[in-house]
Structures are given as structure tokens and as C-alpha cells.
A = this chain, B = another copy of it.
Amino acid sequence: MVSKSQIKFIKNLQQKKYRTENKLFVVEGIKTVKELVNAKVKPYAIYTTSNAVLEDNAFKCELISETDLKKISALKTPNNILAVFYQPKTKEIIEDNWLVAVDDVRDPGNLGTIIRLCDWFGVANLFCSKQTVDCYNPKTIQATMGSLARVNIVYGDLEAFLKQTNLPVYGAFMDGKNVYKEDFTAQSGVLVMGNEANGVSKTVEELITKKISIPQFGNKTTESLNVATATAILLNEIRRG
């Protein structure tokens, strides 16, 4: 049984404001819940309508009715599990390796894919400009899987951050230098990726020290690559050296 005040509390967590205030976030579906528990993200409360999940004993959870699940779920057709997790604590960024910075990435799926790529390529820190979509958006979490727990994600003033860093600042641009010709033997740097529609903003562009681009082999069209696939290619280029 979920109390009225709990229902209200959990429903509120669908909004970024309440997630940030309470340092919590909501996840639905057994696969992602398991991933996060395995990645040692601390649960606040886990609710399920499934006896099988309860008896599986993989984590502590509370059996509730389908009616109650419907009340707390953000989904039209709720999965049989909903979990509230504590947001992992952010750590100070230590600039001894590569890090990725995103300048107003708005699509939650793209941000989720970028977090997963950071994890894959051993990028421990991700800096997000203030206007970037919330990394605790349900669609972001679905795309990140357990990676969310393994990448330190810091939101803040991207310009201020780039002004103070001693690292070389690389940015992806259509007219940048061919990335295949760039020397990535340096052990550290910042890779800035821009917004889906507008790319890197003018004020941030002024702080980029190296503009790079991915060569286009097909018909020359004006379309660019999606920001998540471009991040995949550039991180691969950086790590392959």
C-alpha cells in the first residue's frame, strides 16, 4: 500500500525541479532497475506488483497493487516495477584525462548515449552546460543503463569551466580540421559537443582551441551527423590515438 503523500511525492519526481531538490530519481522496468542496483546506485524505495520479483530477492522491495503502481507510474502501461534511487553524488572534476563537455544537448536519448559512450571509452567526467537536458530524465536513464553510476556528471557554467581549464579544448565543427590528421597522443583534453540543431554556441566557440571534423565520404549534403554518433566516432579517434 502506497500512501497518498508517497504517491504525490513520487509523481513530483517526474519533474526535474523536485528531482534536484530531493536528490532522487525514478526508474521503471526490471532491466534498468537491476542494472542500477548492480552498479551500486543506492535505492530509496522499490515497488513491484510481481511476486516473482519479490521472491527473486535480488534487492529489497515492497509488493503493491496494480492500482497503486498505476498511480505512481509515468507510463500509460506501467511495467511491473518502479524504483526511486538516490542521485549519485557528483565529485570534483580532476583534469588528468580526457573529459567530454556538452553544450545544451536537449534530446534525453542523445545525452544517455553520450554517457554510455563515456563509460565505454573510459571518460570518467562529463560536464553539462546548464541548459543541457537533465541526466535523470527517464529517457536518458533508459539509454545509459548502468553507465550513469560510473560517469561523474557535473552541471554548471560551461564558459566559466572552459575559461579556467588548462587542457586543450577540442570542438566538433563541420569546417574543422580532419580528425584523422589530429594527433591524440596527449593524455588529456576536453571534447566539446554542441546542441542538436545549433551546434556549439558562439560564446563557447570562442573558447575552443582546436576545431575538428569527421570527414564525409558520401554525397556532400548539408546534413551533419547526429551528436551522439559524432561523439562515438570522436571518442574512438581519441582513444585509438
Q: A residues bordering B, Cβ < 8 Å?
A: 35, 109, 113, 116-123, 143, 145-147, 150, 180, 214-219, 221, 223, 225-226, 228-230, 232-233, 236-237, 239-240
Contacts and interface: CB of A to CB of B under 8 A. Distances in A.
B119 A229 contact: no
Contacts of A218: 118-123, 150
A240 B120 contact: no
A233 B238 CA distance: 12
Contact of A215 (B219, B223, B232, B239): B239
6 contacts: A116-B225, A116-B226, A120-B214, A150-B219, A180-B240, A225-B232
Contacts of A180: 240
Contacts of A219: 119, 122, 150
Contacts of A223: 35, 116, 119-120, 145-147
A218 B97 CA distance: 12
Nearest to A233: B236
Nearest to A114: B229
Nearest to A109: B109
Contacts of A147: 221, 223
Given A116-B226, A117-B225, 11 more contacts: A35-B223, A109-B109, A113-B226, A116-B223, A119-B221, A120-B216, A122-B217, A146-B223, A214-B236, A225-B232, A236-B237
Contacts of A121: 217-218
B109 A225 contact: no
A146 B217 CA distance: 16
A180 B116 CA distance: 21
Report which residue of A35, A118, A121, A123 has the largest number of chain B beta carbons within 10 angstroms of its beta carbon.
Answer: A121
B240 A146 contact: no
B217 A120 contact: yes
Contact of A228 (B118, B214, B229, B237): B229
